[in-house]
Amino acid sequence: MELRKSYFADVRKDDLHEIGQPRPRSDSPGHVTGKTAFFADRNFPGMLHLKMVRSPHHHARIRSIDTSEAEKHPGVVRVLTAKDVPHNVNTILILIQIGPEDETVLADGKVRWKGEAVVAVLAETERAAQEAAAKVKVDYEVLPAVFDMEEALKPGAPLVNEYHGQNYYLYDSGECRKVRFGDVEAGFAGADHILEQSYQSSPIEHAPTETTGCVVTPEGNDRFTCYTNTQAMFFTLDNTSIILQMPGSKLHFVGGTVGGGFGGKVDVIVEPIAILGAKLTGRPVCFIYSREEEMQISSPRAAEKVVIKDGVMKDGRIVARKVTGYTDAGAYSRHSPYGAQKGAGHYPGPYTIPNVWIDTYCVYTNRTPSSAMRGFGVTIGDFALEVQMDKLARLIGMDPLEFRFINAYRDGDMKAHRQPTEGAALIECMQEASRAANWPVAEKFMAMSSYVKGV
Amino acid sequence: MAKVPVQFTLNGSEKAEFVDSGTTLLHALRDKIGDTSPKGGCHQGTCGACSVIIDGELRLSCLTLAETCDGAVISTTSGLSDSGVLHPLQRAFLDTFATQCGFCTPGMIMAAKVLLDHTPNPSRDEVVEALSGNICRCTGYEPIIQAVLTAARSNSQNAA
């Protein structure tokens, strides 16, 4: 491996002698010998199994819940409903002062997506828990549901989540996150060509080989040890402490070993209810998603729609860009308002465009709540932007790589969201890509620099 | 419920357990005997994380009933190293960075071992075919294929 530090404006002087040298991973010996302890490898005597009764409807009012038959089922130790949860509100990002408090741990009065947790059953065996869960009777009044973001934003659409009062997240900037830079309409008016395209994506499931879950054991000293595969240990500690109204000093989380996460294990879902079960029964509790739950219940990457309108000159300069982005949060916020906000900052792409207008909406629908996944908020946007770049290059008959050189941001350029570009190295990266991919570009592009103006 | 006695050899040791009828071998190994190296990823025979070797053949322990294993000889990844010395496959997985999250690794190693036991010098295509029932969602397939080929080469060098 070759390390070239010269790509960057502030060339590093320190000696990076570790780069390019193989070093054994510290966790590999455990992996290859089967000794690595994943959370489900913990087993405690008397451990109970938790199974969740889930909503079969996309949107419904809960008229009544009857757990009497389930409680009588052999092996059942405890059945939990909303009234058993001390503070029945799940707010993942409360630790960093981002709400909203729009989701319950166990459904209270209403369900807003198919699969929403309603009743938790704790039993001696997984089978008993499963059988008893099937005996819980929930009387639902089915309500109209909405699954499409643009439908959800229309007047008269079914209201997904009363907390918000409308089917979008209200930012401090209003109904969407906004970026305004230059005069986009003047940019379009002066452009040689206009190209407007829309791009859409479906939800994507992380599908880790190890499903989401935790094992909790009550310790003798009134504390609880929770072995978990969360990717967000401190969000989990903080939220569990709030939900259970229990000081953090009573909670001991053991984790860090995750059998594939990819963002799918960032939501705090299984731990609070499992710890509550352990508290109320005094027994160890195991709550592991089945493969079906992992695919249907755990939050996927949000579905997105991106509408991009660009004004471009025959010489290759993009002079105006207007983007409307929609992020499908599903029924609850989880991390989606943050994802939609990231998109707003990102949509100009790594290009310097003098006139930019961006609106990004975080929309609520009666779908599985979406959340974090590898670069959420920008990944689908990048797909849309780069396809758009290729289409623009084709429109003006220009090589797509040369077209990107013309528009690439360089150090000192002001980005649309008012951050000056620093340490870009995009030109240098594309020059290297041109060589590596044997995709030659004109000499003037190979002579360009991210750091020297006019070259 | 009446328990069923089961006796088998696991990684060279005799094991005896009473299991409920219908208990999977995966459950018996992990929760009764305490060998947690086979992993439960799907419990429906699609991911390969629970792969073990029964009487020389690769088997999915999540679809194998424990009571059908009476008298069987069973190997798992936890029994592969000999007195702390890694098996060539384990060594190769380590050296070629063929693990990421590690959850699929024990099953991958079992699948690879059965391949090399039957086919000491496999082609790349044969390696791909042998691992085709094992899912690595970190998508580290290329290093895993390289690890199996590396282990095969080191085996044949040792034999020569």
Cα A413 from Cα A407, distance rounded (Å) = 11
In terms of domains, do A198 and A213 share one?
Answer: no
Q: In which band, very low, low, confident or very high, does the pLDDT at A455 lie, cut at 50, 70 and 90?
A: low
pLDDT at B155: 82
Question: What would the pLDDT profile of A404-439 be if each residue is shown by its tens digit?
Answer: 999 999 999 999 999 999 988 999 999 999 999 999
Could you report the predicted ipTM of this complex, rounded to two decimals? 0.96
Give the type of residue at A58: H
Say yes or no: A243 and A391 in one domain.
no
d(CA B142, CA B131): 11
Region of A46 on the Ramachandran plot (φ > 0 left; ψ -120 to 50 alpha; else beta): left
pLDDT digits (tens, 9 = 90+) for A68-125: 999 999 999 999 999 999 999 987 777 666 678 999 999 999 999 999 999 999 999 9
Separation of CA B78 from chain center: 9
Cα gap B142→B152, rounded to integer Å: 16
pLDDT tens digit sequence for B28-79: 999 999 999 999 999 999 999 999 999 999 999 999 999 999 999 999 999 9
For the entire predicted model, the pTM comes to 0.94
Is residue A269 in some structural domain? yes
Does residue A337 share a domain with residue A245?
no
Closest residue of chain B to A292, computed from CA coordinates: B42
Give me the number of domains chain A comprises: 2
Q: How is chain B split into domains, by residue range?
A: 3-77, 88-159
Q: Which of A36, A260, A290 lies at the smallest CB-CB distance from B137?
A: A260
User: Do residues A199 and A325 make contact, with C-beta atoms less than 8 angstroms apart?
Assistant: no
Which residues, including other chains, have CB under 8 Å from residue A167's CB and lie 6 or more apart? A146, A152, A153, A157, A159, A160, A161, A363, A364, A365
Residue A453: pLDDT over 80: no
Q: Are A146 and A365 in contact (CB under 8 A)?
A: yes
CATH number, domain with residue A53: 3.90.1170.50
Q: Judge contact between A347 and A223, C-beta under 8 A.
A: no
What is the fold, at CATH topology level, of the domain defined by B3-77?
Ubiquitin-like (UB roll) (3.10.20)
Contact B92, B150 (CB under 8 A): yes
Considering only the beta carbons, identify the residue of B31, B101, B135 that sits closest to A43.
Answer: B31
Question: Residue A54's closest CA among A164, A128, A109, A134?
Answer: A134
Same domain flag for A287 and A215: yes
| Cross-chain residue pair B99–A34, CB shorter than 8 Å | no
Q: What is the CATH number of the domain that holds A368?
A: 3.30.365.10
Give the Å distances, CA to CA, from A225 to A111, A124, A230, A407, B51.
31, 20, 14, 54, 30
List, in order, residues 6 or more apart from A96 with CB less than 8 Å away.
none
**Do A291 and A221 sit in the same domain of this protein?**
yes
User: What CATH class is the domain B88-159?
Assistant: mainly alpha
Residues A340 and A197 placed together within one structural domain of the fold = yes
Tell me: do A225 and A369 sit in the same domain: no
Inter-chain touch B106–A30, beta carbons under 8 Å: no
Residue A374 touches partner B, C-beta closer than 8 Å: no
B37 contacts A35? CB cut-off 8 A: yes
Structural domain span for residue A81: 47-143+207-296
Whether A208 and B101 lie within 8 Å, measured CB to CB: yes
User: H or E stretch including A364?
Assistant: strand A356-364
Residue A280 lies in a domain: yes
The rounded distance, in Å, linking the Cα atoms of B49 and B39 is: 5
Instruction: Report the relative pairing of strands A177-181 and B57-60 from DSSP bridges.
Output: unpaired
Q: How many CA atoms lie within 13 A of B36 on its CB side?
A: 15
In a domain, A4, yes or no: no
Length of chain B: 160
